[in-house]
Amino acid sequence: MQHILACLDESTWSTSVQDAAIWAARQLNSPLTFLHSIEKQTQPDSQDLSGAIGLGARSKLMTEIATLDQLRAKAALQIGKEILAIADSKAQEAGCTQVETLQRHGEFIDTLLTLESSARLVIIGHSGTQTGKKISVLGTHVENLLRQIHTPVLITPHDFSVPKSFMLAYDGRETTELALQRILSNDLLRGLDCHLVTIKNKQPDLEEQFAQATERLTAGGFAVTTRYLEGDIAKQLLDYQQTQAIDMLVMGAFSGSRLRQFFIGSNTLKMLENCNIPILVVK
Separation of alpha carbons 174 and 282, rounded Å: 10
Residues 6+ apart with CB under 8 A from 237: 167, 169, 197, 199, 229, 249, 267, 271
Q: Domain 3-41+75-155: give its CATH architecture.
A: 3-Layer(aba) Sandwich (3.40)
3-state secondary structure of 252: strand
Q: Is the pLDDT of residue 275 over 90?
A: no
Q: List pLDDT tens digits, range 43-73.
A: 444 455 455 555 556 666 667 666 776 677 6
Span 111-140, average pLDDT: 74
Separation of alpha carbons 231 and 236, rounded Å: 7
Mean residue pLDDT across the chain: 83
Q: Where are the domains of the chain?
A: 3-41+75-155, 165-282
Separation of alpha carbons 6 and 22, rounded Å: 9
Separation of alpha carbons 123 and 35, rounded Å: 10
Q: Is the pLDDT of residue 105 over 80?
A: yes
**60 vs 38 pLDDT, higher one:** 38
**175 vs 159 pLDDT, higher one:** 159
Confidence of residue 22 (pLDDT cuts 50, 70, 90): very high
Q: List pLDDT tens digits, range 67-99.
A: 776 677 677 788 989 999 999 999 999 999 999
The 8-class DSSP code of residue 103 comes to E
Confidence of residue 266 (pLDDT cuts 50, 70, 90): low
> Which range has the worst mean pLDDT, 51-55, 154-158, 234-238, 242-246?
51-55
pTM of the model: 0.83
CB 203 within 8 A of CB 172: yes
Report angle CA 146, 180, 244 to the nearest 5 degrees: 90
User: Could you tell me the sign of the dihedral formed by the alpha carbons of 46, 129, 88, 23, in that order?
Assistant: negative
Separation of alpha carbons 240 and 246, rounded Å: 8
3-state secondary structure of 96: coil
Share of the chain above pLDDT 90, in %: 51
The answer to whether the 3-41+75-155 and 165-282 domains have the same CATH topology is: yes
Separation of alpha carbons 131 and 12, rounded Å: 10
- In this prediction, residue 162 carries a pLDDT of 96
Fold of the domain spanning 165-282? Rossmann fold (3.40.50)
Confidence of residue 127 (pLDDT cuts 50, 70, 90): confident
**219 vs 268 pLDDT, higher one:** 219
- In this prediction, residue 258 carries a pLDDT of 45
Residues 6+ apart with CB under 8 A from 90: 18, 22
Query: From the centroid of its chain, how far is CA 226?
Result: 26
Separation of alpha carbons 131 and 9, rounded Å: 13
Confidence of residue 161 (pLDDT cuts 50, 70, 90): very high
3-state secondary structure of 105: strand
